[in-house]
Structure 1
């Protein structure tokens, strides 16, 4: 690879020759050239992001074993030791150190996180995270998914071994997190001291956080560049000459855009996008993840200087390793490309490691047992087969689609009072979010079935004041798939319905297909294709993914409240509590009950 242009005319090193190449220096009054900067400190940055409670190992497309918290911990501990072991390599300084960083989303609701709920032990994710020895972490959007109190409990279980750096979030109104601020676990800035060197850490979380998760009363400052630049300047004034930004901005493109506005930041570690950065020849996990860009990405800051950006794929499948060398003035001299890469967490191949025995015993084995138990846990019995066939839930009303939509409506109505919002009267679930792609046979429904049907970590959300014209457009969008021979074709946007009935004409243009739209209480919103204007707004329950525009849904920026309940949890609650563990053929007949019908042509 070609030499990387580094900051302020520093030196660069080619991987092939490890030869120092001086950049051109303008003519000076002195007859003696300035001395070339010398390596003073080599830093290995070990990093991960979006671990998301993927504590159990997976099987790759090659049949091999990858990921798992136990192998991840073993690998990262090995890399921590190797970073300063042996003689320095070409271009490295004699003084070497290592820092281990997470870019957030350290856990995620789902079957594996649920294993901690009744264990009576510290949260398994916290146990694994502590064993990995992370020095610092950003806070991700999913870290709030179960609300600020759960995040507070996670941090309590984790202890104070990791410093969580957040420059743009405010916690004064959330007691569980304010306690973590007061004991120094959550800080606005942090200096990590390594071998006598000071590394200033800046932490940022996406300013879209209120639309992404269950934030409670946590506040978000959107001025990301202003906050980062002010903190970098404060570090410089204090003599801290090496700065790392740890950010969770949802997409590495956002880190690249932000980099162009920054001054004084040497390295950016990003998270939230799950992008895999790698170079040709790097060993990779064979799980279908495609390479997004090279490792690292070379961004340009506001002063025209190069800032390396790193991130890596999610779910305990990689440890990222960036090795850099600074001079005595804190200028970045070299990125050691021969050492910098994503390292797969694997049971085979050149990077193979054995599982960490303690993490396997304390985390992986009990979580495996819990997940296996879900397959044995019967949460309901159905008198009727429940249709989740992929093309059906994406094109017609099905009884499984009705069940899922009803669960969103029921939970939304139950939680509305506590949330201080208008209870929903209708609900909608996109067919593309129902993923079991099969018929659940009549008989027992297990807890694992609920996760299989609804694997995505979407949350129940309520928009309490949707303009009726917007709701009509939403229902239209759910019927807006392609049509062949007068028949609506499967599309992920298809809307399974609760609280209303709609008839539509698939021969009409998209956006003009609704013939009649009637609420369950008899209120007519559309009659013969014409909106009645009977009232102005309606409260709608759905999943947060759709309210944010997922699957192209035109909610148009309406205000909504995300409830701390996943759609899977809502489904299970509805089966066990609302239905008393019994799905009847009378309530959920095969073929549906006429909630979504094709309008019959008028007699001519």
Structure 2
């Protein structure tokens, strides 16, 4: 059918039934076309057909059929003469894309909502209109070391899953959702490529078989061949995703009705700096988008060369600004499912998940690719709080039809009972049963109380990665106290990354447009409101990194802090952003990276209060050349988040833990003369769930010692950025306030 608009008059005889009032001959008013005496001719009835294009009343184009009476006898129907309009529409290709990502934040939320989430998936997969057009995908970070990950080893859980492999519970859920492919996120590799490979594997215990992942992980810019375990899982690029269970590859295809859709994966090039990649090779750069695009485009081209004209990129770039830039550098990508940034997209018809204040961006975001074609970018917030739903039509050339987008259908569907009712789905039995088992294990941890807080402890991603928070201060102070208890140490300062704090401790309740923050409710637990526990600490300090002490000069400390705030900008949530103890500094995000820290003070008398200026107004003070003992995380000391600890002139690295801690490569020579282990650091208060020298143990013992119960609670409330004093954002405070 051509794109021209064609109107033609259809002969009356061809529409004998519809056009009973065709012009009579010499009849009285032409009634029924019967002959009459001396009657005026009746007005002719006409039918016109108009060819209409895509995105109108017919999504894929078709015919508009108008019927009426040609009262003025000019051989055409005027708008006032039309009695009825019907449409004969062409069939076309519809896609219902269901997507999620980033189940790596609040453990309690993820477990509480996964049943409603599964019901939304069930409802939309069985939708009468779009159910058969469904593709379910993830854009990564489906698993993360922590309570949920390790609960798989418990007998109660493995009785249901048939496995005691960490990660298998999450993958059992994804299998139930019908996921066909996932991008590779950074947290999939947190325990190393070997553990990730095990998380994809089949397993059989207790007479129950776990089939492994029934979908592949995709990353076009990652070479998996260097790792012995993952090399055995490399699939064929462009193969049918439903035949690629337990495999890794760059791309796959999936059949939707009678057509194939291409799926390409992309991982953040920052993988070597933020997780454990081992012998994997990662291509691209987040600062050189063309280079990153060049690593991804060949997989897209290989799919289009086979005739596939609908391409979805599953991308885990951690900052949605990178996906936006990438969209404009690639060609032939129709949809990008972003991941890692927890961008809360939504439209005007969407309902917020309880406790969420607002949607950050519209759903979907529309842009153009390098050739000017339409590319849609979608993302939803994580932890199973939202299921993304994009229903979109494509024309015969495989191009998106923008007019097919409907806000009433598309958007972020919050995992709430009301939305489940609207979707018409039911919670998936396998998901609920295994979730209940995992929660049973974790509830025991939440009933192991180690302290009390009267205030909400701020660890939410958008806050702890952008400003000083009370939870950041607490964890840094616990590191200082733990290190200063070591026999060999006296005065210590602390630096850690906000990205290592994975969740808040407390409850956020939204009423209308107001969100109130409370200490943990602990509903349903054998614990009082405000009690903090093993479960909280396992959830928020998920990685339980080991503590390391290094010698740094004042100038070297400034260089580390410059790195910490170098990526700070509106809308960004960089994991490297610092939380500190015994340190106060000011930075101006409007200045060039590397020259943002203007003022820096440190504690020198072991009271954890900064008292000595190292830099003021950008100028070094005499103490800038002095040496200080800095306690940090082994993850950072080993170069994680690109921290430049390798530039220290005389680091004198000492460990507070023995053996290999999380954050160390498997071959780390800990405990050797190169990295001596400090002695008598543990307070001996028997927190019991973390190893000596782990950050969870430091925080637990700090609470047991200082805030053990409701009679002596932690009560320092979170402050607004204008009132922060350890980390002073000079775009808010204007002038640094010295301690």
TM-score norm. by structure 2 comes to 0.56
User: Deviation digits for residues 515-574 of structure 1, max 9, x if unmatched?
Assistant: 8489xxxxx999x96348588x98863376899999xxx9668679996359xx998222
Q: How many angstroms apart in 1 are the aligned matches of 2:128 and 2:229?
A: 36
User: Deviation digits for residues 389-438 of structure 1, max 9, x if unmatched?
Assistant: 979x9799999755434668999x9xxxxxxxxxxx97535899696699
- 1:204 Cα deviation from its structure 2 partner: 0.2
Partner of 1:241: 309
Which of 349, 355, 361 pairs up with 2:427? Answer: 355
Alignment of 1:583-598 (within 5 A): none
Partner of 2:345: 277
Which of 79, 97, 121 pairs up with 1:45? Answer: 97
Q: How many angstroms apart in 2 are the aligned matches of 1:72 and 1:18?
A: 33
User: Deviation digits for residues 217-260 of structure 1, max 9, x if unmatched?
Assistant: 32210132112322222222222222111101112221111111
- 1:312 Cα deviation from its structure 2 partner: 1.1
Which of 554, 557, 565 pairs up with 1:471? Answer: 557
Partner of 2:535: 448
Partner of 2:446: 375
Structure 2: runs of 5+ lacking an equivalent: 1-51, 63-87, 203-210, 236-243, 285-290, 459-467, 507-518, 521-526, 565-576, 586-596, 607-611, 615-619, 654-659, 665-686, 713-739
User: Deviation digits for residues 22-61 of structure 1, max 9, x if unmatched?
Assistant: 9xxxxxxxxxxxxx99543222111111123767557xxx
Q: How many angstroms apart in 1 are the aligned matches of 2:255 and 2:470?
A: 58
Partner of 2:142: 106
CA distance change for structure 1 residues 353 and 546 in 2, over 3 Å: closer, same or farther?
farther
- Tell which deviates more after alignment, 199-208 or 230-239: 230-239
Which of 542, 547, 560 pairs up with 2:633? Answer: 542
Q: How many angstroms apart in 2 are the aligned matches of 1:570 and 1:214?
A: 27
Q: Are 2:233 and 2:247, in contact at CA under 8 Å, matched by a contact in 1?
A: yes
TM-score norm. by structure 1 comes to 0.66
Q: How many angstroms apart in 2 are the aligned matches of 1:399 and 1:555?
A: 22
- 1:82 Cα deviation from its structure 2 partner: 1.5
Q: Are 2:601 and 2:613, in contact at CA under 8 Å, matched by a contact in 1?
A: no
Q: How many angstroms apart in 1 are the aligned matches of 2:533 and 2:435?
A: 22
Q: Are 1:146 and 1:214, in contact at CA under 8 Å, matched by a contact in 2?
A: yes
Alignment of 1:212-251 (within 5 A): 212-222=274-284, 223-251=291-319
CA distance change for structure 1 residues 289 and 146 in 2, over 3 Å: closer, same or farther?
farther
CA distance change for structure 1 residues 503 and 261 in 2, over 3 Å: closer, same or farther?
closer
Secondary structure of 2:380 counterpart: coil
CA distance change for structure 1 residues 283 and 542 in 2, over 3 Å: closer, same or farther?
same
Partner of 2:479: 404
Root mean square deviation, CA, Å? 5.4
- 1:144 Cα deviation from its structure 2 partner: 1.6
Partner of 1:174: 227
User: Deviation digits for residues 83-133 of structure 1, max 9, x if unmatched?
Assistant: 6569xxxxxxxxx63211110010223333332243443532121111111
Partner of 2:175: 130
Which of 670, 681, 691 pairs up with 1:573? Answer: 691
Q: How many angstroms apart in 1 are the aligned matches of 2:274 and 2:688?
A: 18
Partner of 2:411: 341
Partner of 1:495: 580
Q: Are 2:183 and 2:316, in contact at CA under 8 Å, matched by a contact in 1?
A: yes
Q: How many angstroms apart in 2 are the aligned matches of 1:291 and 1:584?
A: 35
Matched, 1:325 2:393: yes
Secondary structure of 1:541 counterpart: strand
Partner of 2:570: none
- 1:353 Cα deviation from its structure 2 partner: 4.8
User: Deviation digits for residues 272-293 of structure 1, max 9, x if unmatched?
Assistant: 1111222212233232152122
Q: Are 2:215 and 2:247, in contact at CA under 8 Å, matched by a contact in 1?
A: yes
Matched, 1:315 2:315: no
Structure having greater relative contact order (Cα 8 Å, sep ≥ 6): 1
Q: Are 1:409 and 1:427, in contact at CA under 8 Å, matched by a contact in 2?
A: no
CA distance change for structure 1 residues 588 and 130 in 2, over 3 Å: closer, same or farther?
closer
CA distance change for structure 1 residues 169 and 431 in 2, over 3 Å: closer, same or farther?
closer
Q: How many angstroms apart in 2 are the aligned matches of 1:455 and 1:38?
A: 55
Q: Are 2:95 and 2:130, in contact at CA under 8 Å, matched by a contact in 1?
A: no
- 1:586 Cα deviation from its structure 2 partner: 10
- 1:334 Cα deviation from its structure 2 partner: 4.7
Partner of 1:511: 599
Q: How many angstroms apart in 2 are the aligned matches of 1:53 and 1:512?
A: 31
Partner of 1:564: 662
Secondary structure of 2:179 counterpart: coil
Q: How many angstroms apart in 2 are the aligned matches of 1:403 and 1:81?
A: 51
Structure index of larger Rg: 2
Q: How many angstroms apart in 2 are the aligned matches of 1:256 and 1:189?
A: 20
Q: How many angstroms apart in 2 are the aligned matches of 1:570 and 1:42?
A: 55
Partner of 2:189: 144
Partner of 2:31: none
Matched, 1:77 2:119: no
Q: How many angstroms apart in 2 are the aligned matches of 1:516 and 1:396?
A: 23
CA distance change for structure 1 residues 448 and 229 in 2, over 3 Å: closer, same or farther?
closer
